Amino acid sequence: MKGWKDPALLLATTGIANIGDFIYLIAINIIVYEMTGSAAAVAGLWIIAPIVNIVTKVWTGSFIDYRSKRKVMMTTYGLRAAFIALIPFAPNVAIIYIILVFLSIAQSFFVPSSMTYIAMLVPPEKRKRFNAIRSFSSSGAFIVGPAIGGMLILATSISITLWMNALFFIVAAILLMMLPDKEIQTGEKVPKLTFAQVAKDFTVVTSFLRKHAYVAFIYIGFLAIMLFSFAMDTQEVVFTQSVIGLSQVDYSLLVSITGGGSIVGAVLLSLFSHRVPLQHMIGFGLVLTTIGYLIYAFSWSFLSIAVGFIILGFFQVFLNAGMMTFYQNHIPVEMMGRVTSILQLFQSVFQIVFILAMGIVADLLSLRYTIVALAAAMLICSFFFVGSIYQKRNQVFFEDAGQKEGRKHG
């Protein structure tokens, strides 16, 4: 495992933070529901992050790309710890929503910084395995985080759980301090964050995307297709309980089953990532994830939904790790923050549109027909998308570092 010391430490950092995220997610849903007794107030938690992204993503990339990504990540960990620790002192739900806005702002800085820092720290030949192990870490946190959160809430209180939750982010920040600052030193003065600078950076990004049209098509296409899954996920609780007739305990078990499928997929991919071509990770991963959603859309029982969830949980790991590797291989680290932020800006706009549109359509027709239509549309788009991936002329875009080196000397 030569050369894995720093990547392993980074995996530990993100893994601890992921567990913290899921503990927070459980606690904040409970505290908002207890304060309001309103399902709509809880649903509003889904809207905060996309709205904040629309406001912040225009300029976060311009801030991040000219500064230390590691320091930005450490700062956001510290801020998230501080704001989470403040939640128990909030006198009403309005103050909690304000705190959540600041947490979302910190997250909007963290994601582009994290993606860029990973590309800087992890060499190309290790990225597939790193992303596979990272998927395993995320899947594990998906199960462990809520379990820890639930046990802490039962054993102590929501307030103490949130304060302990804040410690996870402090530990993550301390571990991050042990990693090197892998910035590319250009000697250029850091530009001021002005409207003119943001406009210039926006032009630079759009010019890059036009010049690298196929790379842009693949990543933007992926984000667009995943909007269907996002829209279905927002109605998951309602669909399983109101349409299928499952209990809350059944739903919790389904979430664990999905996480279990993800863990199995992540373990296998971690072990055999060097044998799985990037094309297959993305192509088969996308189609089979979509089939999992389609089974879920037509489900009539706990067992049928479980089958769909296991399939989508297992193959979503391959898809996400493959797309992350593709992105890291083709977006230059010196502008990755700006590219990521601007793409996520548009993603957030469409997420809000999809959430609102889905609610309207579900009221006019039925939730079952809406979920089926989304899953079917996702499958059709996936086939077109995967067809492009497997065209021979596009094969070069999905080669690993080793394959490219062999082609140069072949």
Q: What is the DSSP string of 259-316?
A: HHHHHHHHHHHHHHGGGS-HHHHHHHHHHHHHHHHHHHHT--SHHHHHHHHHHHHHHH
Q: Phi and psi at residue 221, in whole multiples of 5°? A: -60, -40
Two structure tokens written together for 316: 């979503």
φ/ψ (deg, to 5) at 3: 80, 15
Rounded CA separation 301/309 (Å): 12
Contact 153, 26 (CB under 8 A): yes
Question: Taking Cα atoms as reference points, which of 115, 128, 121 lies closest to residue 399?
Answer: 128
Angle at 296 between CA 291 and CA 300, to 5 degrees: 135
Alpha helices in 37-92 (DSSP H): 39-43, 45-64, 69-86
Tokens representing 79? 């801020």
Range of the domain at 341: 5-180+195-403
User: Is there a domain that residue 409 lies in?
Assistant: no
Model confidence pLDDT, tens digit, residues 101-158:
999 999 989 988 998 999 999 988 889 889 988 888 887 887 788 778 888 888 888 8
Write the DSSP symbol of residue 2. Answer: T
pLDDT of res. 53: 82
Distance CA 251, CA 242 (A): 11
Q: What is the pLDDT, as a whole number, of residue 144? A: 82
pLDDT digits (tens, 9 = 90+) for 266-319: 889 988 888 899 999 999 999 999 999 999 999 999 999 999 999 999 999 999
Rounded to two decimals, the pTM is: 0.84
Does residue 190 lie within any of the structural domains? no
- Is residue 188 domain-resident? no
Q: Which residue ranges of the chain lie beneath pLDDT 50? A: 185-187, 405-406, 409-410
Total domains in the fold of the chain: 1
CA geometry: angle 59, 64, 68, nearest 5 deg: 160
CATH of the domain at 167: 1.20.1250.20
Q: Is 122 within a domain?
A: yes
